[in-house]
Structure 1
Amino acid sequence: MLAGRQLRAALTGLALGALTLTTLQGTATAATDTPVATSTHTARTSPVASIEAATARALARSLAEPAWQRQMAEAAVANKDVDLLALTAKSGAKRVKDFRTTLAEAEADVAEAKGLGKGAPSLLRVSLAGQKVTESALATTAPLVASAPADDDAKTIVAYDSAGKAHELDAAKTPDRPVYLVGVDGQKALAAGLKVVDEELAAKGIGTPATDEAHALSTADSGFWTTRIQSISVGDVQEPWFKGDAEIFTLVTGFGTDGKVRVDTVTMPYLDDENTTYYPNQILVNWSNYKYNLADAVIMEDDGDTNYSSLAKALAAVLLTITDQGAYIPLVDAIIDAMPTSWWTDDPDYVDSFYTLARETTGTRAGAAANARMTVDRYYVSAL
C-alpha cells in the first residue's frame, strides 16, 4: 500500500535491502509483556493494526500444535493469501478451536473498525514473507508470526514465536527466515467499503440509485459516452516488505442529472507497483450520469484504517452544502477538505487529483500533484 502522506507530490518509501533478523535486546520477551516499540518516534494509534497484532500473537501460540503447523505450511505455500477463518474450520484440534474463537471476535472488530457493518466478509489473512522455503521445510521451521505496524516509517516490527516470545525484525530489510504476516484482505475490504460509501451517500441523496435507474432507462436505447483510461501510472507505490499491494480507488465527482452533487466510486485493483504503466481500458466517467460535461477525479488509497462509514458521512457533510449554480464547480478541494487531518497518515491516503476532466478530453494528463499520469480517450457504449 502507498506510504502515508500529507498532500505532497514528492513522496518517500523505504528501500529494501539485505536480510536481517535480531532478537529483541538480545533476549526474547514474553508476548504478554509490554509490546516492543516499533519506531523511535511516537507511534500512531491504529485500531486495525492493533487487531492484526493481537491476531498474530494468538496465531503464533496456536502453531505449537504440530498438525496445525503442517496445515498452515501447506496452505501458505500453495496460496498468496490464506483466509484464516476458513482454514481454521478444517482443523479439529482444541488449540485451533480456541484460536478460531479469538479470530471470530477479531473479524467482528475489524468490520466495526472499518465501518463495514454486519454481513462483512471474512477479512483477516495470513501470507508468507521472508526467505522462500518448501512446504516440508516450513512445517518444521516454526516461522515467526508478525503483522504490519501502523507506521509505514517504523524501524522495527515485532514478531512472535510459538512459545509466545517476541522478536524484533528490521522493517527495512526482508527477513532471512520465513515469517507469517497477518493482515486484512485489502481488496475485499475496499469492495465492501465502497459499497458502504455508495449506499450511505445514496441515502443522503448524492447519486441515488433511483435517479440512476431512471436515467439509465432513458439512455438504454441510445447508449452513452464515457471517458476511458487507456493507460495509467502512479509514482511511489513502493512499500516495505511487510506491506501488501496498494488498494487504490477513485472518487469521480460532478453534478448529477438532477442538479445535485454526485460521487461515483471506481476501484483500481491493478495499481500496485510504482512507476509502472498499466493498460486497463477502464471506464472512469459515465457522462450520462452528469449534468455538465466536466467532472473531477480524486485518486486515493486505503492504507489500513479507513472507516468507510465515517468517510461517507464526512463526504456527505461537505458535498451537501454545495448547490448547482448553473455552471460547473470543481469539487476536488471540497473532497480533500472533508478529510480529517488524521486521515492523511495511514488512512485513505491522497494519491493525486485531476481537475475538470471534460467529456471531450483525450490524450495524456498529469495529476495536480504530479504523482499520477493517465492517458484517456472518449469511448461510446452502444445500446444492446
Structure 2
Amino acid sequence: MRPRHLRRRGALAVAATTLAVLCAGQSLGAPQAAAAPATAVPAPASPASEVHAAEDLAARAIAGALSDPVWNTRVRRAALASDEVAVTALADGTLRSTLAAADRRIAAAKGLDAGVGPLLRLRLGDPSMRGALTAGTPPWVAAATSDDGPVTAYDSEGRIHTLDAREAPAHPVYVVDLDGSRALAAGLDVLNEELARRGVRSTAPTARRTPLRDASATAAAAGFWTTRVAAVSLSDDQEPWIKGDAEIYTLVTGFGHDGKVRVDPVDMPYLDSDGVVYRPQQILVNWSSYKYDLADAVMMEDDGGTNYRDLAKAIAAVLLTVTDQGAYIPLVNAVLDAVPDDWWTDDPDYVDSWYTLARTDNGTRHGARGNGWMTLEPYFVQEL
C-alpha cells in the first residue's frame, strides 16, 4: 500500500491532455469531417511487469522441459541440494537460449548493465515440499509474483494450476525468481552512478575530524565519525510463500558540504527475514560526508521490479529542488514523494523511515512507520 501522505498526481495533466485532444479535432468555422476512430496507445510496461513477464516465460519453458527425464532429474537433484539454483547455467540447448534471453530482458527492465550476468534462479517453493519431490511427485513451476494475488503454476504438459499465495500447497513447486543479492548490489551501483551524474551526491566527501563532546580522547586522532547499526529488526508482515528472502537497502539522505542534498544507498543483504534480530555492526552514516550532524534514512525492499536508473532520475528531479536554508531540513518525505505513483503497488516496497538521525544517537530508534527498529551507536573510524 502507498503511504497515505504521498499524494497522487496527474489529474490536471490528464484533464489538460483531454482538452487539447478535443480542441485539436475542431476548427472554428470549418466543416466537420467524420472523426477517425481513435487508436488507443498502450502504456509502456512497468519494470515490475516486464520482470514478471520474463520470469513467467522462463517458468513455462522450464516446466515444458521437465517432460525430459534427464532434465527433470538434473533439476530435482539441484533443487534438493541447494536453496537456489543458477538455472540458466544448468540448462542447455534451446532452453538455455530461452533463459539467457529472459535474463537479458530482466537486466534491461531493471536498468542494469548487460554484464551483470545471469539473474534467474530456481528454488523449491517451501521446505515442506521436499518429501513429495524426493518421492518423485512431478513438480510444477511458477514465477515469483510481485503481489499477493493467486499464483500461476505450470506442469510439464502446459496445464495451468492456480495456487493460494498465502498457503503453500502440498504439491512440490519450483519457483523461478531472481538472484536478489546480485541484482540489488548491481542496482545500487547504478543508483550511485546515476545520482552522481545528476548532481545529487557529493563528489568528494571531506573527512571531519571534530570529535564528539564525550570523546575528547580522539581529538588528536585522524579519522571520522559514523553511526553504526548494532542491531536491527523488521516486523513480521507475513510474506507469501512464493516470495523469497527480502532484499533490503536504505537510502541515507542529508546535505553535503557543498550545501546540496546527497543520497547514499546502503545495502543490507543480511536482512532476509522479518521478525529476526540481526546484529550486523554495519556503518549506516558516514558523517564526514555531511554538512550537518543530522541525516534521514528511508528503508526500502526490492521485490524484483525496480529500475534503478528510473529511481535515480525520479529522486534527483525532486531533491535537486531542495536547497540548504542554513539549518537541517528532514528529507524523508521528499524521497518518498519522488517515487512515481505507479511504483507503490509492490515494487519497490517502502519498509520504514527514520527522521533526523543524529551523530550522537546511542540507543534504539523505532521507524516512523512502526515496521522496524534499529539500535544505533556512534563509531569512530580511525585512519591507519
Over aligned residues, Cα RMSD in angstroms? 2.3
The aligned residue for residue 211 of structure 1 is: 204
The aligned residue for residue 102 of structure 1 is: 98
- Of 56, 64, 67 in structure 1, the residue corresponding to residue 67 of structure 2 is 64
One-letter code aligned to 2:81: A
Over 3 Å counting, the alpha-carbon distance change for 1:372 and 1:97 in structure 2 is: same
Q: In the alignment, is the contact (CA less than 8 A) between 2:234 and 2:276 conserved in 1?
A: yes
One-letter code aligned to 1:182: V
One-letter code aligned to 1:144: W
- The 5 Å alignment of 1:169-248 reads 169-208=163-202, 210-212=203-205, 215=206, 222-248=222-248
SS in 2 for 1:229: strand
User: Does residue 165 of the first structure (1) align with residue 125 of the second (2)?
Assistant: no
CA distance in 1, matches of 2:209, 2:368: 35
- The 5 Å alignment of 1:1-384 reads 5-7=1-3, 46-88=49-91, 96-130=92-126, 131-133=128-130, 137=134, 140-152=136-148, 154=149, 156-208=150-202, 210-212=203-205, 215=206, 222-384=222-384
One-letter code aligned to 1:168: T
CA distance in 1, matches of 2:225, 2:258: 18
CA distance in 1, matches of 2:260, 2:65: 53
One-letter code aligned to 1:334: A
One-letter code aligned to 2:230: Q
**Alignment size in residue pairs:** 333
Give the TM-score, by structure 1 length.
0.82
CA distance in 1, matches of 2:339, 2:281: 30
**C-alpha deviations, 1:339-362, integer Å up to 9, x for none?**
111111111111111111111111
Q: In the alignment, is the contact (CA less than 8 A) between 1:304 and 1:346 conserved in 2?
A: no
**Identical aligned residues as a percent:** 55
**C-alpha deviations, 1:265-322, integer Å up to 9, x for none?**
1111222332322211111100011111110001111122111110000011111111
CA distance in 2, matches of 1:275, 1:169: 26
SS in 1 for 2:240: coil
Q: In the alignment, is the contact (CA less than 8 A) between 1:222 and 1:383 conserved in 2?
A: yes
Q: In the alignment, is the contact (CA less than 8 A) between 2:48 and 2:304 conserved in 1?
A: no
CA distance in 2, matches of 1:280, 1:366: 17
Please list every run of 5 or more consecutive structure 2 residues that lacks an aligned counterpart in the other structure: 6-46, 211-220
One-letter code aligned to 2:96: R
How far off its partner does 1:364 sit?
Answer: 1.2
Q: In the alignment, is the contact (CA less than 8 A) between 2:63 and 2:154 conserved in 1?
A: yes
The 10-residue stretch of structure 1 (123-132 or 336-345) with the greater mean CA deviation from structure 2: 123-132
Over 3 Å counting, the alpha-carbon distance change for 1:115 and 1:202 in structure 2 is: same
One-letter code aligned to 1:357: L
SS in 1 for 2:114: coil
The aligned residue for residue 40 of structure 1 is: none
Q: In the alignment, is the contact (CA less than 8 A) between 1:266 and 1:284 conserved in 2?
A: yes
Q: In the alignment, is the contact (CA less than 8 A) between 1:238 and 1:273 conserved in 2?
A: no
Q: In the alignment, is the contact (CA less than 8 A) between 2:184 and 2:302 conserved in 1?
A: yes
Q: In the alignment, is the contact (CA less than 8 A) between 2:132 and 2:172 conserved in 1?
A: no
Over 3 Å counting, the alpha-carbon distance change for 1:119 and 1:45 in structure 2 is: closer
SS in 1 for 2:230: strand
Q: In the alignment, is the contact (CA less than 8 A) between 1:158 and 1:167 conserved in 2?
A: yes
How far off its partner does 1:148 sit?
Answer: 2.3
The aligned residue for residue 29 of structure 2 is: none
Q: In the alignment, is the contact (CA less than 8 A) between 2:146 and 2:303 conserved in 1?
A: no
Q: In the alignment, is the contact (CA less than 8 A) between 1:48 and 1:305 conserved in 2?
A: yes
Q: In the alignment, is the contact (CA less than 8 A) between 2:361 and 2:377 conserved in 1?
A: yes
CA distance in 2, matches of 1:380, 1:348: 33
One-letter code aligned to 2:137: T
Give the TM-score, by structure 2 length.
0.82
SS in 2 for 1:119: helix
SS in 2 for 1:202: helix
SS in 2 for 1:82: coil
CA distance in 1, matches of 2:103, 2:185: 16
The 10-residue stretch of structure 1 (327-336 or 264-273) with the greater mean CA deviation from structure 2: 264-273
How far off its partner does 1:134 sit?
Answer: 6.1
CA distance in 1, matches of 2:250, 2:48: 26
Q: In the alignment, is the contact (CA less than 8 A) between 2:315 and 2:338 conserved in 1?
A: yes
SS in 2 for 1:270: coil
**C-alpha deviations, 1:185-242, integer Å up to 9, x for none?**
112111111110000011112224x414xx35999x7111111111111113421111
Structure exhibiting the larger radius of gyration computed from Cα positions:
2
Over 3 Å counting, the alpha-carbon distance change for 1:173 and 1:184 in structure 2 is: same
**C-alpha deviations, 1:30-51, integer Å up to 9, x for none?**
xxxxxxxxxxxxxx97221111
SS in 1 for 2:115: coil
